[in-house]
Structure 1
Amino acid sequence: MRRVKKKSSEAIKYQLFKSRANTLIFIVFISFLILIVRLGYLQVVQGDSYHERVENAQYVKINQNVPRGEIYDRNGNVLVQNKSERAIFFTRHRNMSNGEIMEIAEKLSEYLKMDDEKISLRDKQDYALNKYFDDLLKEMPNEAKLLEDGNISKNDFNEEAYNQISDDYLDDLLTKDDINIISIYTKMIVASELNPVTIKGSDVTEKEFASINEDLDDLEGITTGMDWKREYPYGSTLRTIFGDISSPEEGLPKELSEYYKSLGYSQNDRVGKSYLEFQYEDILRGEKEEVKYSTDRAGRIINQEVVKEGKPGNDLYLTIDIELQQELEELAEYHLKEMHNLAIQAKERADTYGDIEWDIRPEFLDTVNLVVQDPYNGDVLAMVGKHINEDGEIEDFDYGTFAVTYVPGSSVKVATVTTGYQNDVLSPGEFIVDEPLQFADGTNKSSFFNRKNHYNIDDQEALMVSSNVYMIKTALRLLGLEYQNNMPLPSDISQDAYKLRNGLNQFGLGVSTGIDLPNEDTGISPPLTNNAGNYIDLAIGQYDTYSAMQLSQYISTVANGGSRIETHLAKEIREHNPNAPGKVLRTFNANVLNTVMMSEAEKNQIYAGLYDVFNTHDESTNRYGTGWDAYHKLEPKAAGKTGTAEAFREGVPVLNQTYIGYAPYDNPDMAFSIIWPTTPMTIPFFPAQYMGRDVIQKYYELEYGAPKKGYHKYDLNEFYPRIKAGTYDS
């Protein structure tokens, strides 16, 4: 028999490998074939569709669901916060016509009830021209005939309808459902393509929200979500200073539209419109959510994808102490009411007895401004303005502390003395004769405490008794002149007069404090060229005008030894965290604007003089500091300066009374300024200085735990005899 030849094991293995390799090659071939067919299908059959999707995909930043940063006081108390609200939004797809939007509005009106207060006559007329055209033809038969005959166009007819169709007629013609549709439509029609607008962002009921959510597939472009609005836990306190933001319906305010668009904002963005909300818009605004929309050939949205989540705005922490602010607001209201009532009572008694010469106008005593700050870092701890309106009601006037200026009077005299030092026309401790001054042109000047005598006083006592003459003689020296009786005043002071004004400016008087709020008023500073009378008035605070904020920066500069520090309300920027104070992103430290150069001897004379203003009665001369009555019993002691400036209101002589100071006098941690504009011109002056005393007492109470003390009691029976006698002596 023939022997069968057996394959070797190596041949068997080779045959198996070859079979498997062929199978693998076949599978790869089939896979590539399928891939080629699929690619061909996508390119040839569906290529246009995918190309369209790519071309119609667009990244868009939207502003819904991105809350604004909140505002806190220095101690972490929330002053401005956000409250979430249910909201209904509309996103207009590409190429969406006004007619399509009207159809959606009509559908949505079955779910949503709107406030119709903001519907304009034109909106109603446009709606009637579309839905009730036949009714308008009957209402306007002459124009209808002209339209039918082809003598006027449809546009001409519409224009005539705008002129003739009244609100009353439309109120009868349009139903409540029509009005609701118009309200919805007017919110939707302003939307730009792919930029959501809020249709209803407040007072959306739970039923409205739920029912719309259920039928979103039938409401093209409509979405639901959460919006927010600002809330103010402390009510009206500092409400003006916080500022306003635009509403969802308003978007960019008309007056700020170009400004914000230049920064990349969209028309429907909600933005800060005033004060802190405007000033710190870049901090408080959130980062808008970025969405990628895909649309079909008709422009309809077929897909959307969030590519970047929105982020809430950062939080702003202020230098304000809200507890101190509220306490001082209450204090200011008390003093304003009491001073106003004192003026009313004094006038009534004067009208009855006719025994005083002063023209008391209680209606002029209607305003007070107060600023309290840390003299070492520029922090504003409290800013209070109160005003009595025409209805006799007290309203907030906080912005008046930096946006309104007044002639301040003698409060500026520290700056006048310092300017004399710096220009080497005055030495620390130098004596000058206080005497009535008479000039060749008939101008007469004197100090309030000395109308006819000659007293030799130094700079310390000049501040204590508020010597006008000491300041005027110093100002004359700046012009290179020594006072002589009946001397002529120079006709040209343009070369040297600005030494004095620049000396005042270095303390912050007449220049910007740097406060981080818009619309600061730096005051009125008329040219100093050919009127030397105005120049010497400037030396005693009777010419240029300043705000309470400027006076506060000025006395702070004195209190801290000469550093003029930028005034500011922002303390910190923190990352938003709803559960705890967030990470500090920025701290606003003291920013020294300039340094007032003074020697230690000069500073000591000034400090001694300001201490004497509040605390000293010189028994040897029987002369008092001008603030002694109100301030001398304070513990610990304070120091400061008073001022009275003659002014006019409606042609009637009045007085601006100002008070500036710091406490404790030897280690100050607070400085304050108070302006009482247009108080009645009487001698003695209305007792406005007691408000300053109460401010310091309240600060000591809150910061040091000092015993609580009552406010000053205004007593006409004590005050009236003094104005009747025309003296400060009782």
Structure 2
Amino acid sequence: MKRAKTKSLETINNQVMKSRINIIMLVVFLLCLALIFRIGYLQIVKGDMYQEEVENAQYVEINQNVPRGEIYDRNGNLLVGNASKKAIYFTRHRNMSSGEIMDVALKLSDYIEMDTENISLRDKQDYLINRYPEEVEKIMKKEQTLLDNGNISQKQFNEELYRQIDDQQLSDILSEEDLNTIAVFVEMVNARELNPVVVKSEDVTEAEFAAVNESLDSLEGISTGMDWEREYPYDSTLKTVLGEVSSSEEGLPKELLDYYMARGYSRNDRVGKTYLEYQYENVLRGEKAQVKYSTDKSGKILKQETVKKGEPGDDLYLTIDIELQLELEAIAEHHLTSLRKMAEEVAARNNRTGELDYTIIPEYLNTVVLVVQDPNNGDVLAMVGKQLDENGEIVDYHYGALTSTYPVGSSIKGATVTTGYQNDIIEPGEVLIDEPLNFAGDQGTKSSFFNRDSKVAIDDQEALMVSSNVYMMKIAMGLADFSYTPGMSLPTDITGGANKLRNGLNQFGLGVSTGIDLPNEATGLSPDLANNPSSFLNLAIGQYDTYSALQLSQYMSTIANGGNRVGLHMAKEVRSGDANGEGTLLQSFDGEVLNTVLYSPEELEQIHKGFYDVFNTHDTATNRYGTGWDAYHELEPKAAGKTGTAEAKFEGVDVLNQTYTGYAPYDEPDMAFAVIFPNMPYTVPFFPGQYLGRDVVNKYYELYYEQSPKPNYQYNTDTFYPKLVYGQ
């Protein structure tokens, strides 16, 4: 009997394993086959549909609901904010025709009331063509016949209509409802595809907003939301310097279109147009929302999804102290109006008596500009400009401190003396003879105001105190390698000396950019001095080139801080926007040292002492006064500075530009100031505008040193007029 064969356990296990592997392989094969069929189905059957969806979905950045950053003063007082307001928006879908837009405009005009005052004649004419063909046919019978017969084109027909039909005819045809529809349509028709535009944001009423919201399903492309506009808590104060923002209707200004388009902006973006809004656009603009639109074959929007929320702009903090700014504006207005009144009273008296040899035209006295800054870091604390218009009303002229330049007179003599030191023309304490300078021929005579006819030995310190023209001119002669002898002819080639002198003035910021972070800074006029030696001498006393109040302030600050010319700046910090208070500090601005004026300690001390004497010294031995003594000697703590008077012409009449510059306190200056009164009456003694500088320092001491308030200087014609008559 044969023995039955039995499989070993190992063999059985192997067979089971192979069976399982075969099953698994079959399943995998079937799954792969199913996947292949599915992929093929998606690619071949559904491929076109999905491709279309991809093509019809696009990301678009929009600027809706992205407020600009706010602007604050150095102490956190809001200068420029955003006022929110209700708005009606329209988003044009792809391939949307003008006719389709008109259909929406007709519906929307039932819910909102537009301003129709500024609708153009052409827009009314186009509306007439499209909406009132019967009326057009009546008016244009001859042309309609020619059009119907094919003798003229539709374009020619329209051109003739544009020529014939005027506003009067249109007013007889178009109703108020028609005009309202036109106004809506005009705002909508120029919209770019998938870019929301504002249809109405001014004076949207609660009823309008609610009515549109309730009818959104029937208003294709229409949506509601919030818009914003700039608001100014301090009204017109510094408004011109703070700058303007374009409106939602204006978008990118034409004059800045290329500039902004090159930086990735859209045509309907709202941007900074002038001054600080323009200068710090990258800080204030915010980040636009990013939206994904999905459209159907016709281009209609099926859905939209916000991929990235918009972010408001960062906040800009300025160096300006708005409290000081407002106080100085009031002081400037007081002095300007008081001086004008006194000029009117003086002119009226002289019309009766004929006692004066001076032509006084009060209307020419119409401007004052002043700057106050921290001399150590370039912070502009206040920038004030005021003018009297043709009606005698005060208007703001703050940007005049930046954009207007004048011959400023003796205020720049500290820079002239410094240039003399640096070129080894004089040494600290060196004595020169102040005397009338008589030149040959028609080159005339030049002299100092305090000394018209004698020889006076003075050093550099006293030359600053009494404002010696001759001392400065002799420095200029040394720069041009010649010295004075009575009756001499001035050399014609003074090019080398002129370059040395202008370079010396430039190192203080006179005649060059101050580095201010504002556009449109005027650097002044520097006319050619070749073969013009007389004007070269005048340059040394501030009677030739022109400078701004900002430049004078930087010049005085450079001396006050020991020789560092620090770039001026309006921006102090950038912080993230935070409704609950100051945001996170993102950036701070410190004054950059643009150059350093090289002084020896003795030279710098001599300039400081000369400026101190200008404001504080009466030399009893000679009975000579500092040119600013009257106004400034009672200040406590003491201040120092320099005054200036430049002869000029205004409309052919002799006038004087008066300037007052200084720093305080004298020992440790933390403020510097510059005041310019252009076109003052050409009189001896001069109209006393220097008291404005005194009142500026007093106000600074009141706000920063907690001193008791002091009254502004009060001008008195009865006191001043006798001085004019007798020339005291």
Q: For 1:187, what is the secondary structure of its paired residue?
A: helix
Q: For 1:496, what is the secondary structure of its paired residue?
A: helix
Listed as ranges, the gaps of 5+ residues in structure 2 are: 1-12
Partner of 2:589: 588
Report the residue type matching 2:582 in the other structure.
P
Partner of 1:358: 358
Q: Is the 8 A contact 1:441 1:489 kept in 2?
A: no
Correspondence 1:541-560 to 2 at 5 A: 541-560=542-561
Partner of 2:9: none
Q: Is the 8 A contact 1:498 1:528 kept in 2?
A: no
Q: Is the 8 A contact 2:565 2:593 kept in 1?
A: yes
**What is the Cα deviation at residue 673 of structure 1?**
0.2
**What is the Cα deviation at residue 146 of structure 1?**
2.9
Partner of 1:6: none
Partner of 1:381: 381
Take 2:302 and 2:20, find their aligned partners in 1: how far apart are those partners? 47
Q: Is the 8 A contact 2:446 2:470 kept in 1?
A: yes
Partner of 2:4: none
Take 1:644 and 1:632, find their aligned partners in 2: how far apart are those partners? 19
Is the aligned partner of 1:47 residue 2:47?
A: yes
Take 2:219 and 2:168, find their aligned partners in 1: how far apart are those partners? 33
Take 1:171 and 1:95, find their aligned partners in 2: how far apart are those partners? 33
Take 2:662 and 2:186, find their aligned partners in 1: how far apart are those partners? 57
**What is the Cα deviation at residue 363 of structure 1?**
0.1
- State the Cα RMSD in Å: 2.2
Partner of 2:458: 457
Take 1:291 and 1:238, find their aligned partners in 2: how far apart are those partners? 38
Report the residue type matching 2:372 in the other structure.
V
Report the residue type matching 2:707 in the other structure.
A
Report the residue type matching 1:66 in the other structure.
V
Report the residue type matching 2:294 in the other structure.
S
Correspondence 1:257-296 to 2 at 5 A: 257-296=257-296
Given the superposition, is the C-alpha separation of residues 455 and 153 from structure 1 closer, same or farther in structure 2, using an over 3 Å criterion?
same
Partner of 2:713: 712
Q: Is the 8 A contact 2:71 2:81 kept in 1?
A: yes
Report the residue type matching 2:230 in the other structure.
R
**What is the Cα deviation at residue 43 of structure 1?**
4.0
**What is the Cα deviation at residue 385 of structure 1?**
0.1
Take 1:496 and 1:717, find their aligned partners in 2: how far apart are those partners? 47
Which range is displaced more, 286-295 or 674-683? 286-295
Cα deviation, 1:290-327, whole Å, max 9, x if unaligned, reads 11111111111112221111111111110000000000
Partner of 1:513: 514
**What is the Cα deviation at residue 590 of structure 1?**
1.8
Report the residue type matching 1:151 in the other structure.
N
Take 1:724 and 1:116, find their aligned partners in 2: how far apart are those partners? 63
Report the residue type matching 2:209 in the other structure.
F
Is the aligned partner of 1:485 residue 2:517?
A: no
Cα deviation, 1:241-265, whole Å, max 9, x if unaligned, reads 0111111111111111111101111
Partner of 1:209: 209
Cα deviation, 1:483-503, whole Å, max 9, x if unaligned, reads 111111011212332100110
Correspondence 1:105-504 to 2 at 5 A: 105-442=105-442, 443-504=444-505
| TM-score normalised over the length of structure 1 | 0.95
**What is the Cα deviation at residue 650 of structure 1?**
0.9
Which range is displaced more, 233-242 or 158-167? 158-167
Query: Identity of paired residues, percent?
Result: 62
Take 1:534 and 1:107, find their aligned partners in 2: how far apart are those partners? 73
**What is the Cα deviation at residue 21 of structure 1?**
11
**What is the Cα deviation at residue 22 of structure 1?**
12
Is the aligned partner of 1:530 residue 2:531?
A: yes
Take 1:659 and 1:483, find their aligned partners in 2: how far apart are those partners? 30
Q: Is the 8 A contact 1:656 1:677 kept in 2?
A: yes
Q: For 2:536, what is the secondary structure of its paired residue?
A: helix
Given the superposition, is the C-alpha separation of residues 109 and 19 from structure 1 closer, same or farther in structure 2, using an over 3 Å criterion?
farther
Which range is displaced more, 287-296 or 263-272? 287-296
Which range is displaced more, 136-145 or 68-77? 136-145
Partner of 2:674: 673
Is the aligned partner of 1:693 residue 2:694?
A: yes
**What is the Cα deviation at residue 17 of structure 1?**
12
Partner of 1:64: 64
Take 2:17 and 2:323, find their aligned partners in 1: how far apart are those partners? 89
Q: For 1:495, what is the secondary structure of its paired residue?
A: helix
Take 1:400 and 1:165, find their aligned partners in 2: how far apart are those partners? 48
Take 1:642 and 1:137, find their aligned partners in 2: how far apart are those partners? 78
Listed as ranges, the gaps of 5+ residues in structure 1 are: 1-12
Partner of 1:87: 87
Take 1:132 and 1:264, find their aligned partners in 2: how far apart are those partners? 42
Partner of 2:609: 608
Q: Is the 8 A contact 2:614 2:627 kept in 1?
A: yes
**What is the Cα deviation at residue 143 of structure 1?**
2.5
Cα deviation, 1:349-392, whole Å, max 9, x if unaligned, reads 11111111111100000000000000000000000000011121
Partner of 1:658: 659
Take 1:23 and 1:164, find their aligned partners in 2: how far apart are those partners? 89
Given the superposition, is the C-alpha separation of residues 303 and 19 from structure 1 closer, same or farther in structure 2, using an over 3 Å criterion?
farther
Given the superposition, is the C-alpha separation of residues 672 and 124 from structure 1 closer, same or farther in structure 2, using an over 3 Å criterion?
same
Partner of 1:619: 620
Q: For 1:376, what is the secondary structure of its paired residue?
A: coil
Report the residue type matching 1:256 in the other structure.
L
Q: Is the 8 A contact 1:371 1:382 kept in 2?
A: yes
Report the residue type matching 1:420 in the other structure.
G
Take 2:234 and 2:31, find their aligned partners in 1: how far apart are those partners? 72
**What is the Cα deviation at residue 222 of structure 1?**
1.3
Take 1:336 and 1:142, find their aligned partners in 2: how far apart are those partners? 68
Q: For 1:79, what is the secondary structure of its paired residue?
A: strand
Q: Is the 8 A contact 2:296 2:302 kept in 1?
A: yes
Take 1:393 and 1:17, find their aligned partners in 2: how far apart are those partners? 106
Q: Is the 8 A contact 2:611 2:641 kept in 1?
A: yes
Q: For 1:661, what is the secondary structure of its paired residue?
A: strand
Which range is displaced more, 332-341 or 33-42? 33-42
Take 1:208 and 1:277, find their aligned partners in 2: how far apart are those partners? 32
Q: Is the 8 A contact 2:510 2:555 kept in 1?
A: yes
Partner of 1:578: 579
**What is the Cα deviation at residue 30 of structure 1?**
9.0
| TM-score normalised over the length of structure 2 | 0.95
Take 2:665 and 2:107, find their aligned partners in 1: how far apart are those partners? 70
Partner of 1:3: none
Take 2:357 and 2:393, find their aligned partners in 1: how far apart are those partners? 29
Q: Is the 8 A contact 1:245 1:271 kept in 2?
A: yes
Greater than 6 Å deviation, 4+ residue runs: 16-37
Q: Is the 8 A contact 1:201 1:248 kept in 2?
A: no
**What is the Cα deviation at residue 216 of structure 1?**
1.6
Report the residue type matching 2:437 in the other structure.
L
Q: Is the 8 A contact 1:94 1:298 kept in 2?
A: yes
Is the aligned partner of 1:648 residue 2:675?
A: no
Q: Is the 8 A contact 2:645 2:659 kept in 1?
A: yes
**What is the Cα deviation at residue 561 of structure 1?**
0.6
Report the residue type matching 2:516 in the other structure.
I
Correspondence 1:1-12 to 2 at 5 A: none
Take 1:23 and 1:88, find their aligned partners in 2: how far apart are those partners? 66
Report the residue type matching 2:525 in the other structure.
I
**What is the Cα deviation at residue 136 of structure 1?**
2.2
Report the residue type matching 2:243 in the other structure.
G
**What is the Cα deviation at residue 93 of structure 1?**
1.3
Take 2:494 and 2:98, find their aligned partners in 1: how far apart are those partners? 70
**What is the Cα deviation at residue 23 of structure 1?**
11
Q: For 1:671, what is the secondary structure of its paired residue?
A: strand
**What is the Cα deviation at residue 18 of structure 1?**
13
Take 1:534 and 1:140, find their aligned partners in 2: how far apart are those partners? 73
Report the residue type matching 1:534 in the other structure.
S
Q: For 1:198, what is the secondary structure of its paired residue?
A: strand
Take 1:197 and 1:563, find their aligned partners in 2: how far apart are those partners? 51
Q: How many residues align?
A: 719
Which range is displaced more, 406-415 or 198-207? 198-207
Take 2:206 and 2:441, find their aligned partners in 1: how far apart are those partners? 81
**What is the Cα deviation at residue 482 of structure 1?**
1.2
Report the residue type matching 1:391 in the other structure.
N
